[in-house]
């Protein structure tokens, strides 16, 4: 069992959700994907619908409110949205209530794999140069915020194994 929340941060397309979901299942940990939870809470079918109805500011407020709500729940593995760390308040909440783990994937790999669809409302209708710009704007904040960095450059299965190993060592899982 986790003693504190583990917040996965990183770029869209870095692997936060896919790795988080799989490792939580493997270790039998509670798991929250903040984007999905926000869409559920607001009775929206997707993050894109949340952005449509409430705008980016409304979505960012919902992120902060969800982080506050999570502080009152049992510790879990949390995949955050790529922009969650942009608010200082969110970084403070995550620092005070958990371990912040950066899922770090090289920009070249993200550019090769990322789908610019409605799962990533900030990138809908934009090109790869916009993803690169976003990466350059955010990577410093991700690295400054992280307690631990997971290199996710070797593929999905290596990423799962790496995250699982980090959590087993940090929280003394069998």
Q: Is the pTM of this model over 0.85?
A: yes
**Strand boundaries in the chain, DSSP class E:** 5-9, 31-33, 77-79, 98-104, 148-151
Cβ atoms of residues 124 and 31 within 8 Å: no
Bridge partner residues of 149 (DSSP): 102
What's the confidence (pLDDT) of residue 114?
65
pLDDT in tens, 27-74: 999 999 999 999 999 999 888 899 889 998 999 999 999 999 999 999
- Return the closest-CA partner of residue 139 out of 98, 103, 92: 103
Beta strands in 14-134 (DSSP E): 31-33, 77-79, 98-104
Gap between the Cα atoms of 128 and 12, Å rounded: 12
Q: Does domain 5-168 have CATH number 1.10.1040.50?
A: no
Percent of the chain whose predicted confidence (pLDDT) is above 90: 75
């Amino acid at each position: 069992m986790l003693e504190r929340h583990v917040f996965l941060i990183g770029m869209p397309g870095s692997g936060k959700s896919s790795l988080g979901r799989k490792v939580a299942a493997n270790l039998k940990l509670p798991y929250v994907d903040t984007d999905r939870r926000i869409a559920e809470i607001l009775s929206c079918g997707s993050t894109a619908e949340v952005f449509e109805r409430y705008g980016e500011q409304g979505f960012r407020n919902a992120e902060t409110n969800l982080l506050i709500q999570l502080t009152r729940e049992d510790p879990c593995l949390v995949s955050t949205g790529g922009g969650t760390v942009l608010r200082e308040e969110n970084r403070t909440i995550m620092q005070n209530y958990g371990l912040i783990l950066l899922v770090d994937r090289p920009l070249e790999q993200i550019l090769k794999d990322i789908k610019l669809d409605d799962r990533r409302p900030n990138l809908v209708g934009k090109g790869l140069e916009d993803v690169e710009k976003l990466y350059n704007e955010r990577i410093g904040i991700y690295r400054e915020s992280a307690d631990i960095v997971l290199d996710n450059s070797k593929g999905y299965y290596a990423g799962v194994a790496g995250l699982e190993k980090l959590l087993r060592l940090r929280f003394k899982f069998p």
